[in-house]
């Protein structure tokens, strides 16, 4: 089906609409207002509609409708008809029954299959892909002769990094100690105490490992916040550049060269 509208007109309208929506979202700087909420509702609606269209064109139509409409005897009377079409269609019907009062329990079967298969995949993948190999790798970092293939660290640099990883791991686990606390339940996890040393009494946070764990957690959150801030700044940069190019495009289209 050919497009009846001019592509240039569509691009122009799209650019204007995108610029307008961008400005409406940026008005949130002034506070929550109708322009911002209108743009937000519009994005949510368009995203939902687009997802539904993709589900139809990418999943339902080619897998459930097209094979039957094709009337391919090889498919209709083949072994794949039952496993690839009939059983999935039956599960879809059962899932729709959840909307029917009184028959909702029949829809529990496809939901149970979805959740069971999904949980099995996630747990299995987490064990074989993350927990076991990462634990072994963490233990391997204590080997001063081991070399990280990605970073090429070795020697004292490797040993220093291994000690940092070790202290950070143990102290973070100590911070999240889920035991019964003595004294005040809502009190701090550590306090400053004066410890006798050869050079005299030195104030030391005690217990030490929860204190170190809190420091490591704070550094980690700081790094993640910096990354998120960096990404957000890039989003803003891209939108501002788009607005600038859109203004130039519209002014050029109107014959007003900047």
Partner 1 sequence: MCQTENEIGAEFCRLCHARLPETPIGPPPESEGEAVSDAGQMPDWLSRLRQEVSGETPSSPPPEKPAADDGLEWLGEMPQVVGEEEGPPPGEVPEWVGETQPPSGAQEGEVPEWLARIRAKAKGSDAPEAEGTVEPFQEPEADEAMAEESPPGPPPPVSEGAPVIGEEQSDSLGLPEWLMGAQAQEQAPEKPSEPERPAWLEGVTSDESQELPRVPALVIESDESGVPADIDLSDISSAIPDWMAEDAPAESKPDRPDLAPATLPAWLEAMRPVDTFRSVVEFDSTEEQAVEAAGPLAGLRGVLLAEPVVAMPRAPTGETTRLDVNEKQFAQAELLHRLVEQEKQEARPRPAERRRPGVLRWVVGASLLVAVGLPAILGFPSFDLPAFAPVDLASLVGLVETIPAESTALLVFDYEPGMTGEMEAVTGPLVSHLMERGIVMATLSTRPGGPALAERLMARVGATHNYIRGEDFVHLGYLPGGPAAVELFATAPQEAVPSGYLQDPEAGSVWESPVLTGVQALSDFAVLVVITSGSDDARVWIEQAQPHLGGNPLVAVVSAGAEPLVRPYYESTAPKVAGMLSGLTSATAYEQRLGRPSLAHARWSSYGLGLLAVEVLIVLGALGGLTSLALRLRR
* Chain contacts with partner 1 (rule: CB under 8 A): 26, 29-32, 47, 50-51, 54-55, 58-59, 62-63, 117-118, 121-122, 125-126, 128-130, 133-134, 136-137, 140-141, 146-151, 220, 223-224, 226-231, 233-241, 244
**What residues does 24 pair with on adjacent strands?**
none
Q: How far is the CB of 196 from partner 1 (least distance, A)?
A: 31
Q: Which is nearer to partner 1, 134 or 193 (CB)?
A: 134
Residues 6 or more apart whose Cβ sits within 8 Å of residue 170: 209, 213
Q: How far is the CB of 113 from partner 1 (least distance, A)?
A: 10
Q: Which is nearer to partner 1, 206 or 216 (CB)?
A: 216
Length of the chain: 258
Give dist(CA 222, CA 158) in Å, integer: 24
Q: How far is the CB of 83 from partner 1 (least distance, A)?
A: 11
- Is 217:172 a contact under the CB 8 Å cutoff? yes
E strand or H helix that includes residue 104: none
Q: Which is nearer to partner 1, 36 or 206 (CB)?
A: 36
Dig out the tokens for 83 from the structure: 């496993």
E strand or H helix that includes residue 141: none
Q: Which is nearer to partner 1, 30 or 199 (CB)?
A: 30
Q: Which is nearer to partner 1, 47 or 76 (CB)?
A: 47
Q: How far is the CB of 151 from partner 1 (least distance, A)?
A: 6
End-to-end Cα spacing for the chain: 39
Q: How far is the CB of 154 from partner 1 (least distance, A)?
A: 12
Q: Considering Cα of 165, then 170, then 173, then 175, what sign does the dihedral take?
A: negative
């Amino acid at each position: 089906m050919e497009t009846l509208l001019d592509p240039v007109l569509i691009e122009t309208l799209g650019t204007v609409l995108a610029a307008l929506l961008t400005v409406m979202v940026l008005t949130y700087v002034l506070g929550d207002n109708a322009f911002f909420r209108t743009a937000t509702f519009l994005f949510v609606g368009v995203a939902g509609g687009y997802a539904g269209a993709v589900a139809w064109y990418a999943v339902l139509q080619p897998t459930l409708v097209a094979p039957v409409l094709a009337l391919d005897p090889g498919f209709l009377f083949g072994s794949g008809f039952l496993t690839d079409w009939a059983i999935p269609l039956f599960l879809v019907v059962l899932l729709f029954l959840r909307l029917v009062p009184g028959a909702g329990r029949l829809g529990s079967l496809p939901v149970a299959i979805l959740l069971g298969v999904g949980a099995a995949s996630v747990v299995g993948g987490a064990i074989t892909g993350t927990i076991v190999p990462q634990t072994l790798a963490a233990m391997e970092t204590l080997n001063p002769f081991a070399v990280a293939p990605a970073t090429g660290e070795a020697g004292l640099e490797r040993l220093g990094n291994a000690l940092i990883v070790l202290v950070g791991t143990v102290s973070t686990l100590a911070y999240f100690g889920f035991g019964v606390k003595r004294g005040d339940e809502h009190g701090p996890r550590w306090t400053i105490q004066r410890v006798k040393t050869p050079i005299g009494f030195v104030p030391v946070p005690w217990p030490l490992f929860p204190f170190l764990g809190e420091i490591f957690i704070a550094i980690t959150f700081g790094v993640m916040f910096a990354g998120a801030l960096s990404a957000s700044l890039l989003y803003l940069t891209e939108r501002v550049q788009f607005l600038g190019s859109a203004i130039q495009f519209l002014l050029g289209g109107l014959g007003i060269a900047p």
